[in-house]
Structure 1
């Protein structure tokens, strides 16, 4: 009878040890899963940050090109009110300014 009680006590202790080991393993798995999720989110954030930096640099380059282009255009062309009467320089012709015919002296017709 004593041997049976000892065997039952041993089986109960083994069951408790297995339950404790399973709970510990479950907690470790949850912790590892949380760490994986955090690592994934950190990686995604770094990728998006790098992508954002790329597009900010690209926008800055385009802005610089646009500014350089317009500063260069402004330096070549006189302001719209540059004629003596304050009007458009080519208001009397129906041709665009690039199609203006010049005389031998270089004056427009």
Structure 2
């Protein structure tokens, strides 16, 4: 009878040890999964950083090219012209008014 009790106690202790081992393995798997997730996020962050630095470099190149173009072509700002043609402007005696040439037999 004592042997049966001892055997039952041993089986219970063995089950407890196995459950603890399973829990430890689960915890280790979770830690490993967390590490791989962190490594994945770090890789994504590095890729994003590299992409952003490339983007900034391209923007700098474009800005330098624009400055070079502006410097080479010396862009001049012109005063805006009045493109509306009113009756007053059409009868103006100023010959450099910007309108089309008119025939004036008196001049």
Q: Deviations over 1:26-51 (max 9, x none)?
A: 11111111111110000000000000
Aligned pairs, how many?
82
Higher relative contact order (CA closer than 8 Å, sequence separation 6+): 2
Structure 2 gap segments, 5+ residues each:
80-97, 100-107
Counterpart-to-counterpart distance in 1, 2:5 and 2:43: 57
Q: What secondary structure, in the 3-state scheme, does the structure 1 residue paired with 2:72 have? A: helix
Counterpart-to-counterpart distance in 2, 1:47 and 1:78: 43
CA-based RMSD of the aligned residues comes to 2.1
Structure 1 stretches of 4+ moved >2 Å: 77-81
Q: Deviations over 1:11-65 (max 9, x none)?
A: 0010000000000001111111111111000000000000000010001001000
Structure 1 gap segments, 5+ residues each:
82-90, 93-109
CA deviation after TM superposition for structure 1 residue 8, in Å: 0.3
- Provide the TM-score with structure 1 as the length reference: 0.69
2:37 corresponds in structure 1 to 37
